[in-house]
Structure 1
Amino acid sequence: MNDRLHQTLLRFDQYNGTDPNLFTWQGETCPQELFLAQKLHEWVLKLAPDASLPLVLASRCQHIGRWEISRKSYPDGRVGYLTWRKALARHHASVAEGILRETGYEDDVIDRVKTIVMKQGIKQDADVQTMENALCLVFLQYQYEAFHPAHGEKIVEILRKSLQKMDAAGHKWALTLPYSAAGTAYLEQALAA
């Protein structure tokens, strides 16, 4: 890893390290977006060992500063949710762009990172698809088991929508993760839908 890449990933981690929301995994607690960004990075490298530089960079800043735009500041319902998600994507891309400029990356790399962060071209762009697979896998591995009990049968529809964004390779990896009996049943129902 070259020095500029190392310094940039460190800057992304420092930024995400200021997340006031905490995440606990296997007895260790740290800022939520720092933990999730590092796990996303690991999944991207597992899915694409020869990942492009923009994909590697995007994997650590995909949700940078997510806590800075509250879901509560948007109306309830699907329209409010989608508006919030678009605002978040623009925010992540903007914060990432600032750090990438400060660390000396060229416009073509910055533009490509922003494309991946904003998930433009999913299903047509291999890097964006890898990112989507990795995002879903991070959720399934680290958040799903705590998430599904609160959502009951709605979880099947939530999973179905997430799984639709993944490709066959992502589905294959999803089936290798350990789940509770209920978690497995919901996942199988979503895949069959």
Structure 2
Amino acid sequence: MTTTPFQNASAWIDAENAQDPNIEIDQSKSFPKELLYSNRMYATLMDFYPNASEAVQIASKAQHICRWKIARESYPMDRVGYLKWREDLKKFHAKTTAVILEKAGYDATFIARVSFLIEKKLLKKDQETQLLEDVICLVFLEFYLEPFVLKHDTEKLKNIILKSWNKMSENGQQEALKIKFSAANLQLIKEAIGL
């Protein structure tokens, strides 16, 4: 049975992310952290927008590909260091994915498009970049807000939530309000966004 370029690319992205030494527990099972994140991104995208193009589907899976290879600690621990780390990560994720897509047989135009999306260019202007950003924010709110709540004070949390909220489209925001939050987190979100 022959496999499609998409199936190959997906399997290779999964194989890369499966090498993450950081482990996260989900429903009593252990997963390499970035593989779990990749699966959550893809599942959320297909749930939220089943007609997403192949480029967005791949970008969702590869959003954090091999993220552990560039440690936050290798940059100055200030705002400037953080932003530089984030910028370098985007380029690294795009480049790592481009190598996989070339191996899978995709053409240069498609690869450039996926890189464009992973680097989140033209947010709010490009529909697919916006879709990807919506999914990133939905995944954060559904799966990663809780651990954040344990680490940060209320004001910082409200600030983080509001920043995520403002990056989303109206559709994304409506979808976010359907997530089953704990009562405390729902209250926090409502206060952050002024509902």
The TM-score, its normalising length taken from structure 1, stands at: 0.96
Q: Percent identity?
A: 35
Q: C-alpha separation between the residues in 2 aligned to 1:18 and 1:155?
A: 31
1:21–1:32: 8 Å Cα contact kept in structure 2? yes
1:43-89 C-alpha deviation (Å, 9 max, x unpaired): 11122211111111111111101111000011122111110000000
Residue 182 of structure 1 aligns to a residue whose secondary structure is helix
- CA contact under 8 A between 1:19 and 1:32: conserved in structure 2? yes
State which of 166, 179, 182 in structure 2 corresponds to 1:180.
Answer: 182
Which residue is 1:64 aligned to?
Answer: 65
Partner in structure 2 of residue 147 of structure 1: 148
1:167: how far off?
A: 1.0
CA displacement 1:99-122 (0-9 Å, x = unmatched)? 011111100100000000000011
Return the alpha-carbon distance in structure 2 between the equivalents of residues 27 and 147 of structure 1: 20
- Matched letter for residue 63 of structure 1: H
Query: 1:149: Cα distance to partner?
Result: 2.1
Aligned Cα RMSD in Å? 1.2
Q: Contact 1:47 / 1:130 at 8 angstroms: preserved in 2? A: no
Match of 1:32 in 2: 33
Map of 1:6-155 to 2, 5 A cutoff?
6-153=7-154, 154-155=156-157
TM-score by length of 2: 0.95
Structure 2 unpaired stretches of 5+: none
- 1:181 Cα shift? 2.1
3-state DSSP of counterpart to 1:190: helix
Deviation at 1:163, TM superposition (A): 1.0
